[in-house]
Every structure is written in C-alpha cells, then in structure tokens.
Amino acid sequence: MSNKIIYHHLHAEYGHDVLRSWQAEGNISKNQLVYPLFIAETPTAKEEITAMPNQFRWGVDRLEEALVPLVKKGLRSVLLFGVPTGKKDSQASFADAPDTPVIKGLQVLRKRFPDLLLITDICLCAYTNHGHCALLHENGLINNKASIQRLADIATAYAQAGAHVVAPSDMMDSRVGAIKMALLKHDLERTAIMSYSAKFASSFYGPFREAAQSAPSFGDRKAYQLPPSARKLALTAVDRDISEGANFVMVKPAGPYMDIIRDVKNRIHVPLACYQVSGEYAMLHHAARAGAIDLKTAVIECIIGLRRAGADIFITYYTPELLDWLKKYTE
C-alpha cells in the first residue's frame, strides 16, 4: 500500500438537501411532541403566565379554544397540570376531588378530542399547603409511605377520569410500583406509566413554579430530586422505575442533561421522553427577544440535539411553534 493521504470529501455529502437528509439520524414527527397544559381552577379563565411568555392557565370551559388550533396543526398529545388557587392542605386533598381541574379537564378533553393522547402529571406540590411534592411527618421530614399511597390514589382517580398515561413527577421511592399496583387493583391495566425517572434538582424549573403556583414554602427539593452531577444515581433511578413497571421513562431537564439522555438510551429498551422545561423555554425566548439568536433555528437545533442524544418523546412548550416548523426541519 502507498502512504498516499486519503482525502475524505465530506462536502460532497451535504451540498444537496437530499444528501443532507441522508446524513440525518432520527427524524422527528408530530406524534413525538407533547404540549404541557395548565388548567386553572376558574372554568372561564385565561390567565397569562408572566414567567412563561405566550403560555396561559386555561379554565376548563376554554380548553377547546386553546386546543382547536393546535389539533388542526397536528397536535397529538398533552400533559395536564392542575393549578388550584386555594384548597391546599396537608393531605393534598383537592388533587383527586371530583371537581378538581385535572379531572374536569380529562372529562372534557376525552369527549371533545377523542384522538388526543391525555397524559396527567402526578404530584402533590400544587395541592399541599407547604408546596412540597410529598406528604410530611410532623417534624417536616418526608413521609414516603403515606406519599406513595396518596400518589397511587390520585393516579387511579385520573386514570378513571380518562387519562391514557399517568406521569409521576414527585420522585418518592417506590411510587411507580405503588401506582402500578393500584392501577391493576382497579382494572386499569391499560393505563400507561411515564415516570419522571431522572429528574434533577434544577434551577430551570423556576418559571413553572409561578405557572403552577407550586413553589415550596420552606426548604427546597434537593432531598428528593437528583443532584445535577449524579450520573450513576440517574441510571439507578431509571432501572428501578422500569423494574417497578414504568412503560416510559424521562430525563428532565433536557438540554443540560443530554449526556444522561444518551446514557439512558444505551441502557434501556422502553421509549425515552425528555422534558424541555420552563427555564429552557424562557431562556430561548428571551435570548431571541434580545436579538442574540433566531428563535426558530435555535429551537429546532435544540430538538434535533435531543433526538440525536436519544430522546423519542419531546415534552416542550414550543410544541405550537414546532407543529408549524417541523415539516421543513428534516435536513
């Protein structure tokens, strides 16, 4: 063999848009987008969320107005959060009351949009008077056993009201198993579980806590959400949740944790969701407003990055825009 240098003409592989598309790994379809939706307690409400420009808390009577234009554009799936104003107590009682916004929302959406996949967040923080994701002992420590029982009751109520998927975001130990057992006990074996498995204690949840009015009144969530540097603990949590019956797992936030997305993808065989959270949404929005980046190309680049990292499902507040942009992105 000669020692001639072999030149690789990479430009020849992406000069034409078809050739660029041949280099793409993993396309993104509208079915893979999930739009988070906040349901206000007042049925006629349309409340602006200051920290999340262009996002609103919608009353049950206005869900149709909120969703018709999106369904027309190809929306297939929503993730529901209830936002009670008062009615918070130590037991998160309002979370599964018959007139709680999520249950009323599920009933309306099932009827009005029968093809829409309905996912409900399962947590206590919007319903407890202290704003933590758990029930607490009198000394303020987490009562894990009581919390997972309560979460299982709430998941059962949401499944009975029409949720296709329940998505626990609380991070209590063994909650996936407790929810799975409760679903089976109530003949709800068709309800899927999407676990927020690798959910990190993140500064990027700030805007959401305004949206859902769920900030803790004391302390923080570091005792139950993962430390941002904890790569192996994240994989342990994913393994645990799958062994307890999770049908889908999630990495959250998305962008700052792309390596975790790839690690999880290489390890498991269930579809993997990522949650581009409120702070990531706001950061892109404000950077674009300030002229630093072009919103459309930046958001698409982020989603392509998450796809490349291994995500199959994208929970993002940019879903309305992406439904317009997607067909053109594929290169």
The site for ligand PBG, by CB under 6 A, has a size of: 13
Measured from the CB atom, the residue of 185 and 196 that comes closer to ligand PBG is 196
Please state, in angstroms and rounded to a whole number, the distance separating the CA atoms of residues 230 and 232.
6
Q: Judged by CB under 6 A, does residue 125 bind ligand PBG?
A: yes
According to the binding rule CB under 6 A, does residue 169 interact with ligand PBG? yes
Look at residue 250 and give the partner it binds from ligand PBG, Zn ion, none, a contact being a CB closer than 5 to 8 Å depending on partner kind: none
Identified binder of ligand PBG from the candidate list 113, 208, 248, 314, rule CB under 6 A: 208
Candidates 28, 45, 75, 125; binder of Zn ion (CB under 5 A) is 125
* 221 lies in the site for ligand PBG, by CB under 6 A: yes
| Pairing mode, strands 77-83 and 56-58 | unpaired
Angle at 205 between CA 113 and CA 293, to 5 degrees: 85
Number of residues that bind Zn ion (CB under 5 A): 3
Between 24 and 201, CB nearer to Zn ion: 201
Token pair for 6: 């072999």
**E strand segments, the chain:** 33-40, 46-48, 56-58, 77-83, 117-122, 165-168, 192-199, 248-252, 272-276, 313-316
Exactly one of 95, 133, 182, 183 binds Zn ion (CB under 5 A); that residue is 133
Q: Least separation, in Å, of the C-beta of 102 and ligand PBG? A: 13
Amino acid, single-letter form, for residue 50: T
Q: CB of 25: closest distance to ligand PBG in angstroms? A: 27
Contacts 24+ apart (CB under 8 A), 301-305: 302/254, 302/255, 302/276, 303/28, 303/276, 303/329, 304/28, 304/329, 305/255, 305/258
Look at residue 81 and give its three-state secondary structure: strand
User: Which stretch, 40-48, 122-130, 260-268, 304-312, contacts Zn ion (CB under 5 A)?
Assistant: 122-130
133 makes contact with ligand PBG (CB under 6 A): yes
150 sits near ligand PBG (criterion: CB under 6 A): no
Instruction: Report the candidate in 203, 207, 210, 300 with the shortest Cα–Cα distance to residue 257.
Output: 203
> How many angstroms separate the CA atoms of 43 and 99, rounded?
11
Q: Is 252 a catalytic residue?
A: yes
CB nearer to ligand PBG: give 113 or 204. Answer: 204
Q: Which of 88, 199, 222, 327 is catalytic?
A: 199
**Among 291, 298, 290, which residue's Cα sits nearest to residue 318?**
298
Q: At closest approach, how far in Å is the CB of 210 from ligand PBG? A: 10
Residue with Cβ nearer Zn ion (108 or 171): 171
Examine the residue annotation and report whether 4 is marked as an active-site residue of this protein.
Answer: no
Determine contact, residues 170/224, Cβ cutoff 8 Å: yes
Window of 7-15, 97-105, 202-210, 234-242 that interacts with ligand PBG by CB under 6 A: 202-210
Which residue among the candidates 232, 252, 296, 328 is catalytic per the annotation? Answer: 252
121 binds, among ligand PBG, Zn ion, none (CB under 5 to 8 A by kind): ligand PBG
Pure H helices in 268-318:
278-289, 295-309
In the bound state with Zn ion, the residue whose beta carbon lies nearer, of 32 and 120, is 120
In a 13 Å sphere around the CA of 171, the CA atoms on its Cβ side amount to 21
**What is the nearest approach in angstroms of ligand PBG to the Cβ of residue 318?**
12
H helices of 62-212, in order, are 63-72, 101-112, 144-161, 175-185, 206-211
Q: Which residues sit at the interface with ligand PBG, rule CB under 6 A?
A: 121, 123, 125, 133, 169-170, 205, 208-209, 214, 221, 277-278
Name the residues that contact Zn ion, by CB under 5 A.
Answer: 123, 125, 133
Which residues are tagged catalytic? 199, 252
